Amino acid sequence: MSLLGDLLNTVFERRYAGASGDDSRPIDRLARDLLEAGDEMTELELARRILDRYGRMDDGERLAFFSFLADDCGIDTGELREALDRYEAEQGIRNYRALMAAAEPPRQELFRRLNRVPGATAKLVQMRGDLLRVTRDHPSLKRLDTDLRHLLRSWFNRGFLVLRPISWETPANVLEKIIHYEAVHAIHSWEDLRLRLEPPDRRCFAFFHPAMPDDPLIFVEVALTRGVPGAIDDLLTGTRKALQPGKADTAVFYSISNCQRGLAGISFGNSLIKQVVAELSAECPQLRTFVTLSPIPGLAVWMAEQGVTLTPEDDDAAARLPRIAARYLLGMEGQRPKDPVARFHLGNGAEIHDIHVAADLSESGRRQSHGVMVNYLYDPDRIARNLAGLAAGRPAASRRVQGLARQAEKKEPS
Amino acid sequence: MSLLGDLLNTVFERRYAGASGDDSRPIDRLARDLLEAGDEMTELELARRILDRYGRMDDGERLAFFSFLADDCGIDTGELREALDRYEAEQGIRNYRALMAAAEPPRQELFRRLNRVPGATAKLVQMRGDLLRVTRDHPSLKRLDTDLRHLLRSWFNRGFLVLRPISWETPANVLEKIIHYEAVHAIHSWEDLRLRLEPPDRRCFAFFHPAMPDDPLIFVEVALTRGVPGAIDDLLTGTRKALQPGKADTAVFYSISNCQRGLAGISFGNSLIKQVVAELSAECPQLRTFVTLSPIPGLAVWMAEQGVTLTPEDDDAAARLPRIAARYLLGMEGQRPKDPVARFHLGNGAEIHDIHVAADLSESGRRQSHGVMVNYLYDPDRIARNLAGLAAGRPAASRRVQGLARQAEKKEPS
Amino acid sequence: MSLLGDLLNTVFERRYAGASGDDSRPIDRLARDLLEAGDEMTELELARRILDRYGRMDDGERLAFFSFLADDCGIDTGELREALDRYEAEQGIRNYRALMAAAEPPRQELFRRLNRVPGATAKLVQMRGDLLRVTRDHPSLKRLDTDLRHLLRSWFNRGFLVLRPISWETPANVLEKIIHYEAVHAIHSWEDLRLRLEPPDRRCFAFFHPAMPDDPLIFVEVALTRGVPGAIDDLLTGTRKALQPGKADTAVFYSISNCQRGLAGISFGNSLIKQVVAELSAECPQLRTFVTLSPIPGLAVWMAEQGVTLTPEDDDAAARLPRIAARYLLGMEGQRPKDPVARFHLGNGAEIHDIHVAADLSESGRRQSHGVMVNYLYDPDRIARNLAGLAAGRPAASRRVQGLARQAEKKEPS
Amino acid sequence: MSLLGDLLNTVFERRYAGASGDDSRPIDRLARDLLEAGDEMTELELARRILDRYGRMDDGERLAFFSFLADDCGIDTGELREALDRYEAEQGIRNYRALMAAAEPPRQELFRRLNRVPGATAKLVQMRGDLLRVTRDHPSLKRLDTDLRHLLRSWFNRGFLVLRPISWETPANVLEKIIHYEAVHAIHSWEDLRLRLEPPDRRCFAFFHPAMPDDPLIFVEVALTRGVPGAIDDLLTGTRKALQPGKADTAVFYSISNCQRGLAGISFGNSLIKQVVAELSAECPQLRTFVTLSPIPGLAVWMAEQGVTLTPEDDDAAARLPRIAARYLLGMEGQRPKDPVARFHLGNGAEIHDIHVAADLSESGRRQSHGVMVNYLYDPDRIARNLAGLAAGRPAASRRVQGLARQAEKKEPS
């Protein structure tokens, strides 16, 4: 692809644009020219230059470019009002087209033209990642972000995504991204990676976009087990004996990682889990249970807010921590779950299945949740009911977890 | 893919939606529900049903559905005006988001949700094809078409297209589409197709979208030759001896066909030609000339309008037809070229290179242009100049063609 | 690959061999040089020349080349005897190697050296096909054929073969070979081919050798049905309605064709059928019956030999033909089955399942077997028993077929 | 594939063979049965058992199995003599076939039958590797090795090998084998591997056999450079700046590793180098020089034998070591080169191009050759002449190297 890009460049654009690499026009000038150019080759060459230029910018220059996009390539409200007036007066197709044109900020077309360059999609995703890093300090850029997210959400429509298994036979340039992007239980080395991919009772799946074929968007790591596991080390240890896949009855989703900061706010996880359930059901029809083994990232902070100082070392931790965690996860009736991971899985229609102490004794596991972990269960037959319950403010949970929460109400000081 | 679709269906959606296949809600009800649904699985199931339902509709039902989309899923101008007022009063991010939401007709989101179903992209393209067939008689649907084209243009952005060679080693299910879509010189049989693909001096390339991997968007057929050919039969005859590609100096683009009626108004041809030039230049560095052998579809009608009744059988046809064709193609200074094929190639930066009589003696060749054909030349070094000339109302042409046009002015009664 | 072959040629061999294309050495000289050459590049260039030269030979020249290989590249019995004497005197490794070298005709090494040229394997297979055509008239060439078959059998070892499904998505250059090689029920056109590949209840599988990736060795066409069919037209007609594969209970192997005349005597059919049964069982676990619908090519001739003149038009044909066919197929106890197709399937462990009149009313079906066809059943649980029976001279057959054969003994004049 | 193997097993063989996994027949009994079995499924099941059994054997059991193959599955000389007598008496085809059958040890057919099991080829290669480890102590096994090598040489004929580039985009399960098999300059980690594969001025190519698609047979690592390098660290260091491939004029083959001990004595290196030269010439036409940077593994030992005690630390090492190395590499006129690497490259038609001191200062480089390395040059135009010179006892060398050798004669005490 890059070869071809180079060729096209050589054969057409460079010659045509009549320009050497040291075009000294500022990037906002190039961007305006791109919006106004009339022919494809000029546009392609301008787009390439803008992306190249952007790639070499420092943070200050990027901020300036974002400000240009936010301030000078947005909606012209006066024009929009005029177009609206005319369209309300006469709803002909010309007036409709003029209204639609006025209603879309020109930066949308700019991004679409940039995207024509081979490899541009990944660069636009990175650009949004850069943008997100600065919007906190520069809220005026949020309009720009709103537009860019809108465009990326359209382009990364689920219908365009491809689910691919990730295995030890996957190319190394993809695998190194799995190592890099793993966000839940860090992968420390290639040998560590191999333990998650090569054994016959391990699976991994990722969504890819065809325009970014080497760069996963999101991936999930799965362990095939007998029974629902209650501790992450049982899954990650290198000394365990692998299970024959045909003997597993449970698929455990033990790590889900989003890869592209630039796609924040565009959700793939729900689709991924459900498509992976379908894949695994086809491959291993004897699987009965689809469950996560998930962290509870907000538990420790919430306990601190509540004034509970219990740690796994305390004598009554094994009894009390599950009750506390159950109450935290189930939350107050009528409120959204506080925990972000709970919000995600409950929002997908899962239910809180079980809670385990001493389940993640890593440094981060202790810090976040005093080592407690939770299983969320995906039962296709109950997803609709679970969602309806959630909408009514009653997150779904197993009897055991409900019991724990009730005990918490009685026994835990609050 | 379809297997997976079925599985997903089985595992989740059917169960979840709790609905059998004979959902009796009308399609507009389903569409409204889809726009208002809150969770992905419901949305996916609703989207699938709408597409299935649409696939079984007759023309009248489709028209009704289109009218619903045009009339009930469009911009609410009152809401837009309010949002605009609020945004002008206070340009915060909330007001901006509200404005952007009000400025986009809800049918855009509807189409995006439909697209999540595996295989939906091709169905939406077909839907627009259906729509285009009725907009002439129902101009109120043009707003709908404007929006759908806008969305498809964004999705079929050149950055997402893949160029693939088409050869005798291409799967049959793709090749049958080449036979079906060929629009310039009909392919009468698989043996006929083989003559265009298998000889070493023949090439074919097509653009594909990843979501429609078996369905080309546009393709071009190429002959590698020594010298610029002047008659289509020289290229298509089955009795010629193939040239070793290394001995060719010229690549002749003798047929370009758009495949998807539903993508009308979204242009791929210019990109295709230029990318194919780059591919061929890499494969056969000794190629010097990239040229078309093109029909002149509007010539005969224009001659009739001008009162010229010359046919190839007339004694002076060989002398006069080229002059007439040159004048027709070059047109009046300052006007856009009348001929649609000329408009396409000149608009891409090509120039009129040569004109040939008795070049296409097929029934359609005689009917359209009295057998005259034209070569358009793509010279990377002159594309910029040619486009500048065209913008100034002076289409580019070789000396010979310019001479023919001048002769026409002198010798042809006008 | 051919590009690379050319390159290698250009870069090394041509230069090195110091020879232009018009090497005037006779082919037997080239062959001797190839056997005696000491370095790889010379050998490769000589091998290429021999294959090129062979490819341009007429029948007479080929016969002369075969005679050279048969007479001048065979075992030297004197040398073999000496080597044997020495080895019997002293069984050291040197003497063993010398014995093995003397025991293998030099043409084996010649063929192995020829095979190093890219694409040579297919040419050697064709060469054996050419050879087989002339061995009848030239029995002295049979020794050459013995050796070539021995080598090809080793190279086409089942462990090297690849089973690939053939479908409407298979490249056209492979599909045209399916059309060409179909030996049982001719495929008359691409549309005819499509009827056998595209419907969801049709399958086709072929064995390929990696060195001949576009050229199948053998293929089988399969229909998925409900129940065992009794007439070929029910399967081949274009007007039938396709069955959902999940609803089929039977897989019918209705055509098996060997493709390479040059691999005669090297059997792939048994492996193919059993591997296809395994594939289909994995894809459609609900399949219960694996059965053929087969011709009886020797029936009519045998009936004529027996003086039976019955044809389907006779009133009692429907009653008598199955009895006669059963007796023919079951044969005399203790004798090998007379019919070649019966011999193949019974030898694979199948059993005669049923016999149908008016089952193949094509011209060849009437001529060969008065329209009678037979089902051979592959039941994995009975293959061992069937083979043991066959070895004992009792071919396996269903009760019904055994009954028909008994009736024949009583009722048919013999 | 393994899935299919399992299926076949399940569907047919296990059932058919009527045998559970705990077949207690000794392996030599299984082997005899395999040679005498009459039907394919029995043969396949027996072959699978033998390979499984072999895979679980300890060294003593393997030795016993090898002895059985060597002693009990060899040529029957009495039978061979009889067959020879009969064939000399009457050279009919029957007698020829009987002679050929008697002249081939039955273990050859045994190996061919074993090879039919999916995945067997790799196991037979490993078996020969095991065999080679014990032949030194058990010379009577050399006959077995002679036969197995003969068979493997036929199966691993160059015409069946596939050249594949190895890059950072190659699957990890192949790359780990590159790390494992690298025999010249050890690869210490995945990051180390990346340095050899990912930079744009690095290449790697391997030969594969289609029956062992994940297991390379031999590979070569290449650096694209400007000029001929004189030290290995310049190539391997991670801190260098990568060259644009289009600016390189030289391809340096700096590491060639054979991967399969079981294919010892079957040479792939010559073909590999020449095919890689062809590939690189096609990709980078501006490359002018194809050269190695090679170790001199025998230099230090030879120097010790000669009584030369020079080490790189000595003052005159820089002047004397090249002279000594030149004399060692060129050797005595009329003798084969002593150094195994020199023998390989000179035998391929290369010439000694240059000699460098302090070129490999790794522990093994100092030990083997006091840090000296050598470039062998592959010049297609001179390969024939070089080989002719070598055959005449005069290895090819550049003027500079010849000069060094002459100086050595004058100045070095010998």
pLDDT digits (tens, 9 = 90+) for D349-386: 999 999 999 999 999 999 999 999 999 999 989 998 99
Establish if A243 belongs to a structural domain: yes
- A 110-169 residues inside an 8 A Cβ radius of B: 112, 115-118, 120-121, 139, 142-143, 146-147, 150-151, 153-155, 157-160, 162-163
Give the percent of chain A with pLDDT over 90. 81
The answer to whether C165 and C205 have CB atoms below 8 angstroms apart is yes
* D320/chain C closest Cα distance in angstroms: 35
Best interface-test mutation with B: which of C166, C169, C198, C215 has the largest number of B CBs within 10 A? C169
Q: Is there a contact between D190 and A169 if contact means CB atoms under 8 Å apart?
A: no
Same domain for B194 and B230, yes or no, is yes
Q: At A342, which amino acid appears? A: A
Rounded (5°) CA angle D358-D363-D368: 75
User: What is the CATH number for C284?
Assistant: 3.40.630.180
Same domain for A190 and A281, yes or no, is yes
Find, among D244, D243, D251, D202, the residue nearest to D227 by Cα. Answer: D251
How many residue pairs bridge chain A and chain D with CB atoms within 8 Å of each other?
31
Chain A residues with CB under 8 Å of B165 CB are none
Task: State the pLDDT at residue D384.
Answer: 87
- As a whole number of angstroms, the distance between CA B253 and CA B329 comes to 19
Same domain for B31 and B101, yes or no, is yes
Same domain for A123 and A89, yes or no, is yes
The answer to whether B204 and B166 have CB atoms below 8 angstroms apart is yes
Q: Is there a contact between B8 and A93 if contact means CB atoms under 8 Å apart?
A: no
The answer to whether C257 and C218 have CB atoms below 8 angstroms apart is yes
Find, among D216, D291, D218, D279, the residue nearest to D250 by Cα. Answer: D291
Same domain for B264 and B358, yes or no, is no
Query: Across the interface, which of B142, B157, B270 has its CB nearest the CB of A115?
Result: B157
Number of folded domains that form chain D: 3
DSSP tally for chain B: helices H, then strands E: 20, 7
Radius of gyration in angstroms for the set of CA atoms belonging to chain C, rounded to a whole number? 26
- As a whole number of angstroms, the distance between CA A102 and CA A82 comes to 9
**Closest chain B residue to C190, measured at CA:** B190
Q: Is there a contact between C278 and D143 if contact means CB atoms under 8 Å apart?
A: no
Q: Is there a contact between A172 and D173 if contact means CB atoms under 8 Å apart?
A: no
**Other Cβ atoms within 10 Å of C141 Cβ, number:** 22
**Other Cβ atoms within 10 Å of D284 Cβ, number:** 16
Q: Which of B155, B173, B199 is the last residue of a domain?
A: B155
Alpha helices in C73-119 (DSSP H): 77-89, 93-103, 106-114
Find, among B353, B341, B355, the residue nearest to B386 by Cα. Answer: B353
Q: Which DSSP state fits D10?
A: I
Query: Where does the pLDDT of residue D92 fall: very low under 50, low under 70, confident under 90, or very high at 90 and above?
Result: very high
Phi/psi at C199 (nearest 5 deg)?
A: -60, 150
Same domain for A344 and A372, yes or no, is yes
Chain D residues with CB under 8 Å of C281 CB are 7, 11
- As a whole number of angstroms, the distance between CA D380 and CA D385 comes to 10
- pLDDT above 90 (res B12): no
Alpha helices in C93-222 (DSSP H): 93-103, 106-114, 120-135, 142-155, 172-181, 190-197
Query: Where does the pLDDT of residue D3 fall: very low under 50, low under 70, confident under 90, or very high at 90 and above?
Result: very low
Task: State the pLDDT at residue A3.
Answer: 38
- C 302-361 residues inside an 8 A Cβ radius of D: 347-349
Same domain for A147 and A34, yes or no, is yes
Q: What is the pLDDT of residues D56-87, one digit of tens each?
A: 999 999 999 999 999 999 999 999 999 999 99
Interchain contact A172–D (C-beta under 8 A): yes
Chain B residues with CB under 8 Å of A142 CB are 93, 96
Query: Where does the pLDDT of residue A375 fall: very low under 50, low under 70, confident under 90, or very high at 90 and above?
Result: very high
Give the percent of chain D with pLDDT over 90. 81
Q: How far is CA B201 from CA B98, C2, C176, C323, in A?
A: 58, 15, 21, 60
Establish if A293 belongs to a structural domain: no
Q: Is there a contact between D172 and A169 if contact means CB atoms under 8 Å apart?
A: yes
Using CB atoms, which chains have 3+ pairs under 8 A with B?
A: A, C
Chain D residues with CB under 8 Å of A172 CB are 168-172, 175, 190, 194
Q: Is there a contact between B171 and C173 if contact means CB atoms under 8 Å apart?
A: no
Long-range contacts of C91-99 (CB under 8 A, 24+ apart): C93/D139, C93/D142, C93/D143, C93/D146, C96/D142, C96/D143, C96/D146, C97/D146, C99/D75
Least confident of A89-93, B313-317, C342-346: B313-317
How is chain B split among helix, strand and coil, in percent rounded to 5? 55, 10, 35
Interchain contact D173–A (C-beta under 8 A): yes
Same domain for B188 and B248, yes or no, is yes
Q: Which of A227, A257, A287 is the last residue of a domain?
A: A287
Query: Where does the pLDDT of residue B1 fall: very low under 50, low under 70, confident under 90, or very high at 90 and above?
Result: very low
Query: Across the interface, which of A171, A190, A214 has its CB nearest the CB of D171?
Result: A171
- pLDDT above 50 (res A2): no
Same domain for A172 and A69, yes or no, is no
Q: How far is CA A222 from CA A197, A205, A250, A279, A291, in A?
A: 9, 8, 10, 12, 10
Mention every residue, 6+ apart, whose C-beta is less than 8 A from residue A321: A310, A312, A357, A370, A371, A372
Query: Where does the pLDDT of residue A1 fall: very low under 50, low under 70, confident under 90, or very high at 90 and above?
Result: very low
Give the percent of chain A with pLDDT over 70. 94
Task: State the pLDDT at residue D12.
Answer: 47
User: What is the CATH number for B36?
Assistant: 1.20.140.90
- As a whole number of angstroms, the distance between CA B151 and CA C96 comes to 78
Q: Is there a contact between B93 and A146 if contact means CB atoms under 8 Å apart?
A: yes
Which helix (DSSP H) or strand (DSSP E) does residue B322 occupy?
A: helix B317-330
pTM across the whole model: 0.92
Q: What is the pLDDT of residues B173-206, one digit of tens each?
A: 999 999 999 988 999 999 999 999 999 999 999 9
What range defines the domain where residue B102 resides? 2-155
Chain B residues with CB under 8 Å of A12 CB are 274, 277-278, 380, 383
Chain D residues with CB under 8 Å of A169 CB are 171-173, 214
- Mean pLDDT of all residues in A170-199: 95
- B 205-244 residues inside an 8 A Cβ radius of C: 214
Query: Across the interface, which of B18, B142, B387 has its CB nearest the CB of A39?
Result: B387
* A288/chain B closest Cα distance in angstroms: 12
Q: Is there a contact between A275 and B210 if contact means CB atoms under 8 Å apart?
A: no
Q: How far is CA B312 from CA B237, B249, B366, B367, B371, in A?
A: 21, 31, 8, 11, 7
CB burial of residue D381 (10 Å; 0-12, 13-18, 19+): exposed
Q: Is there a contact between C93 and D157 if contact means CB atoms under 8 Å apart?
A: no
The answer to whether A303 and A370 have CB atoms below 8 angstroms apart is yes
- As a whole number of angstroms, the distance between CA A167 and CA D172 comes to 9
Q: Which DSSP state fits A158?
A: G
Q: How far is CA A327 from CA A319, A333, A382, A406, in A?
A: 13, 11, 22, 8
Which helix (DSSP H) or strand (DSSP E) does residue B406 occupy?
A: helix B399-411
Best interface-test mutation with D: which of C266, C274, C386 has the largest number of D CBs within 10 A? C274
Give the percent of chain B with pLDDT over 70. 94
- As a whole number of angstroms, the distance between CA C62 and CA D36 comes to 38
As beta bridge partners, residue A202 has A223
Find, among B249, B310, B254, B260, the residue nearest to B284 by Cα. Answer: B249
For residues D178 and A8, the model is more confident at D178
Tallying the residues shown for chain A, one arrives at 414
Tens of pLDDT along chain C (414 residues) come to 333 344 444 444 444 444 445 578 899 999 999 999 877 888 999 999 999 999 999 999 999 999 999 999 999 999 999 999 999 999 999 999 999 999 999 999 999 999 999 999 999 999 999 999 999 999 999 999 999 999 999 999 999 999 999 999 999 999 999 999 998 899 999 999 999 999 999 999 999 999 999 999 999 999 999 999 999 999 998 888 999 999 999 999 999 999 999 999 999 999 999 999 999 999 999 999 999 999 999 999 999 999 988 888 888 888 999 999 999 999 877 788 899 999 999 999 999 999 999 999 999 999 999 999 999 999 989 998 999 999 888 999 999 999 999 998 887 765
* A381/chain B closest Cα distance in angstroms: 6
Same domain for D62 and D82, yes or no, is yes
- As a whole number of angstroms, the distance between CA A104 and CA C410 comes to 92
Q: How far is CA D357 from CA D296, D322, D338, D366, D370, in A?
A: 11, 7, 20, 10, 8
Q: Which two tokens stand for residue B87?
A: 């945004």
Using DSSP's 3-state secondary structure scheme, residue C32 falls into: helix
Q: At B165, which amino acid appears? A: P
Find, among A373, A344, A346, the residue nearest to A357 by Cα. Answer: A373
Interchain contact C190–D (C-beta under 8 A): no
The answer to whether A296 and A375 have CB atoms below 8 angstroms apart is no
Interchain contact B171–C (C-beta under 8 A): yes
CB burial of residue A36 (10 Å; 0-12, 13-18, 19+): exposed
Query: Where does the pLDDT of residue D314 fall: very low under 50, low under 70, confident under 90, or very high at 90 and above?
Result: confident
- Write the DSSP string, B229-240: ---HHHHH-TTS
Interchain contact B39–A (C-beta under 8 A): yes
Same domain for D121 and D250, yes or no, is no
- As a whole number of angstroms, the distance between CA D171 and CA A166 comes to 11
Establish if A10 belongs to a structural domain: yes
Least confident of B14-18, B305-309, C18-22, D42-46: B14-18
How far apart, in Å, do the first and last CA atoms of chain A sit? 61
Same domain for C31 and C134, yes or no, is yes
Best interface-test mutation with A: which of B274, B343, B382 has the largest number of A CBs within 10 A? B274
Q: Which of A155, A175, A205 is the last residue of a domain?
A: A155
Find, among B398, B411, B230, B401, the residue nearest to B316 by Cα. Answer: B411
Q: At C339, which amino acid appears? A: D
How far apart, in Å, do the first and last CA atoms of chain D sit? 62
User: What is the CATH number for B396?
Assistant: 3.40.630.150
Torsion on CA atoms A42, A47, A48, A49, rounded to nearest 10: 90
DSSP tally for chain D: helices H, then strands E: 20, 7
Q: Is there a contact between A39 and B121 if contact means CB atoms under 8 Å apart?
A: no
Interchain contact C385–D (C-beta under 8 A): no
